[in-house]
Amino acid sequence: MGTIVQFENVGLRYGMSAETLADVSFSLDGGGFYFLTGASGAGKTSLLKLLYLAQRPSRGVIRLFGEDVVTLPRKRLPGFRRRIGVVFQDFRLVPHLSAYDNIALPLRVAGMEESEVDAPVSEMLAWVGLADRANARPATLSGGEQQRVAIARAVIGRPEILIADEPTGNVDADMAHRLLTLFEALNKLGTTLVVATHDLPLIGRVPGAQMMRLDKGRLADPTGSLRYPPKRPDAS
C-alpha cells in the first residue's frame, strides 16, 4: 500500500520548556501494525497527538497520505482527521448518550442521513460484542465495555489509520486479548494500526507487528527499519 506516514526530523516543545520530542524520523507503511512503547514521560502521547493532528510540531516535516500536514491550511484539517480514528485511554464517551448514539456520532457529524445510520451502527455493536447493550449509557458500562464502544466509534467511519493510546491499560488480561483480536481483525481489512502500550507481552502476540520505542523524546531504533529514509542494510 506504500508509505502512509512520514516524520522527518520532527521536534515538539511546549512553551519555553525543553523539547518533548527531538529529531524523530520514521515512516509507516499502509496496512501495517505498529506498537509504540517507552517509559512514562518518553513522549508517546505527544507523538500520537502529532499523528492525529491535535498538535503541530515545533519543527520538522510530517506527511500523511502523501501531503505535508504541517503547512496544510486549517480548513483542510477536518478532512484529514476523518481518515484517522482515535481510541483514547480515557475513552471520552459522551456521558448522556447511549452506546448506540456514541457510536453513531461520527456518522451524524459527517452528515449521514438518519435512515442510513442504523445498519452500520448495529453492525459495529455486534462486532464488538455489545448488541445487547445498545441503549446503555457509559456510566452503566464496565471499563472493558466502554473501551469497546470507544473502538467502535473510532472505526465506524472506516479510517485508514487507527491510533490507540494505551487501549488495554484499564482492562484485565482477558479483555486485553479480546481488544487485540479486534485490532487484528481491523488490520486485516487494511487499516494501519498504531498502538501505544506499556504491555510488552501484548506486543509479542501480533506476528509481524513492528515496534517503535521512545526514550526521552527520541526514537530508539536499533535496526533502523522504521527510519526515514530507511537505513541501508550495510550502513554502520
Q: Please give the model's pTM, rounded to 2 decimal places.
A: 0.87
Q: Is 175 helix (H, G, I), strand (E, B) or coil?
A: helix
| Residue owning grid cell 473502538 | 151
pLDDT tens-digit map of 151-196: 899 999 889 999 999 887 777 777 788 888 888 988 998 999 999 9
Q: How many helices (H) and strands (E) does the chain have?
A: 7, 10
Q: Residue ranges of the domains in the chain?
A: 93-158
pLDDT at 40: 86
pLDDT given for residue 198 in this prediction: 82
Taking the alpha carbons of 21, 59, 33, 172 in that order, is the dihedral positive or negative? positive
Task: Judge residue 99's burial from the number of C-beta atoms within 10 Å of its C-beta, 0-12 exposed, 13-18 middle, 19 or more buried.
Answer: buried
Tens of pLDDT along the chain (236 residues)? Answer: 689 999 999 999 998 889 999 999 999 999 999 999 988 889 999 999 999 999 999 999 999 999 999 998 989 988 888 899 999 888 899 999 999 999 999 999 889 999 999 999 999 999 888 999 999 999 999 988 998 899 899 999 889 999 999 887 777 777 788 888 888 988 998 999 999 988 777 788 888 889 899 999 998 865 555 554 445 455 44
